[in-house]
Amino acid sequence: MTQVYAEDGRAFPVTVIEAGPCVVVQRKSKQKDGYAAVQLGLVEARKVKHVTKAMKGHFEKAGLPPCRVLREFRVAESPDDKGAKVGDKVSVDQFAPGDELTVTGTSRGLGFQGVVKRHNFRGGAATHGSMFHRAPGSIGASAFPSRVLKGMRGAGHMGSERVTVKSVRVVRVDASNNLLIVRGSVPGAGGSIVVIRKS
């Protein structure tokens, strides 16, 4: 993340995303696969020795070098077969400043967290001899129902979840460096993979 300045001098936060270039690795059709989709691969240098034989064959069939990341996107099947072809490049050129995007990623993992951080519990008093500070408190009755009800909020693993942020606005597009600069934050730690769609 960084910040950029508007024409009137106001600074606002942005996230710089290296978006592609991506290449079409496979096309799926309704007749053969039951649904229409394209499989995109993020073009990154990857040694062939690190690729499984199954994936090696998959890329050789497309006539493309191995990609580190593969993602599939549903598309509307065109009857005149004018859709994306295997080998076609998808770059940031299709976006323009002002476009609204939907960004999906995996949120930062925060490990095992207590109820105050994980569920915003208020906790107890900090002073005056209180011995109840950040504990969860009661989790149900004793005699009835004699169990903890499903959905009870408690301590546990936090983060590392699939998160989608909508209406993320494009601020700038740097096509020469494949950079997409969007307003605000997006899910995930630095260097993680996100999926970008037009809203």
**pLDDT tens figures, 26-59:** 999 888 889 989 999 988 767 778 889 999 899 8
164: tokens are 């989608």
Helix or strand (DSSP H, E) at 117: helix 115-119
**pLDDT tens figures, 70-112:** 999 998 876 666 778 888 888 898 899 999 999 999 999 999 9
Q: Taking a C-beta distance cutoff of 8 angstroms, is the pair 30, 78 a contact?
A: no
**pLDDT tens figures, 123-156:** 999 999 999 999 999 999 989 999 999 999 999 9
Vertex 82: Cα angle to 79 and 88 (nearest 5):
140
User: What pTM, to 2 d.p., does this model score?
Assistant: 0.83
Q: Taking a C-beta distance cutoff of 8 angstroms, is the pair 48, 60 a contact?
A: no
